[in-house]
Amino acid sequence: MLKKIEGFILTETPNGENSKILNILTNEHGLIGAIAKGVKSSKNPLRSKASKYTYGIFYLDYYDNKLSKLEDIDVINSFKEIKKDIIKISYLAYICDLTYQVVKENYQNSIYENFINAILKIEAGLNPMVLTNILEIKYLDYLGVRLNLESCVYCGSKKNIVTIDPDAGGFICQECYHNEPIINTKIINLLRKYYLVKISSITKLNINESSIFLINRFLNQYYERFTGLYLQSKKFLNTLVNQ
């Protein structure tokens, strides 16, 4: 059945001499595997479009339980700004890897919406570290390791919270506090905002540099401790942004 579906190519793998298998994240059907026949040959009109990071309308000969077949693509956005900048490309590579891991675990439509909007905001010039961190904190829900922003992780108390600790997995109250690093209320409130914000509605970000880095460091630690994901693209990104 021929279907027209909005989506984004998350991964591509070579298939035979001239073809590719694409993993397309779509807004209606989650992740779709599609074979793109002959697209590596120099005369193929889909040669440049049928590649990783293409966001568009996909025309597929669609099958539910086996590989679909790519027929055509109308590109929606080619992310020209991101592709000019090695740091932004590295964020995009990491976001795609991470999203692929998340949708393999558990697909929900909100993942697609958050993912596409985060990349569109980076393309529009908003801070890629902040957008990536917003996605990371939202993705924790789908990875089954949601950050507890409600109560002390040890005793459940909602009162006298003194800090939030990535290794403990959330808030620590005065009673349970030993000598964990103090993360101030401003950062805690920002983490909550990151978690709750609707990405498509963000028009500007007024967050100071040191808070941005603190939150990034917090989420790096949390991801290492709780998600079991070790992505090469994340390591590379960290070497670039000096974490």
* Residue with Cβ nearer Zn ion (118 or 152): 152
Among residues 185 and 200, whose Cβ is nearest to Zn ion? Answer: 185
Give helix 86-105 / helix 128-142 axis angle, nearest 10°.
Answer: 10
Alpha-carbon distance of 180 to 165, in angstroms, equals: 7
CB of 181 to Zn ion, least distance (A): 17
Q: Is residue 6 helix, strand or coil?
A: strand
Rounded least distance, CB 192 to Zn ion, Å:
19
In whole angstroms, the minimum distance from the beta carbon of 157 to Zn ion comes to 5
Can you point out the beta strands (E) in the chain?
2-15, 19-26, 30-36, 55-61, 68-77, 148-152, 161-165, 170-173
CB-wise, 82 or 173, nearer to Zn ion?
173
DSSP characters over 80-108? HHHHT-HHHHHHHHHHHHHHHHHHHH---
Region of 160 (left: φ > 0; alpha: ψ -120 to 50; beta: rest) is left
Query: H-type helices in 28-177, by residue range?
Result: 80-83, 86-105, 109-123, 128-142
Sheet holding 170-173, edge to edge: 148-152, 170-173, 161-165
Query: Least CB distance from residue 171 to Zn ion, whole Å?
Result: 8
CB of 156 vs Zn ion, minimal distance in Å: 7
Give the span between the Cα atoms of 198 and 26, in whole angstroms: 19
Query: Which residue number, 129 or 172, has a Cβ lying nearer to Zn ion?
Result: 172
CB of 215: closest distance to Zn ion in angstroms?
23
Footprint of Zn ion (CB under 5 A) = 152, 154-155, 157, 173, 175-176
CB of 7 or CB of 170, closer to Zn ion: 170
C-beta of 122 vs 176, nearer to Zn ion: 176
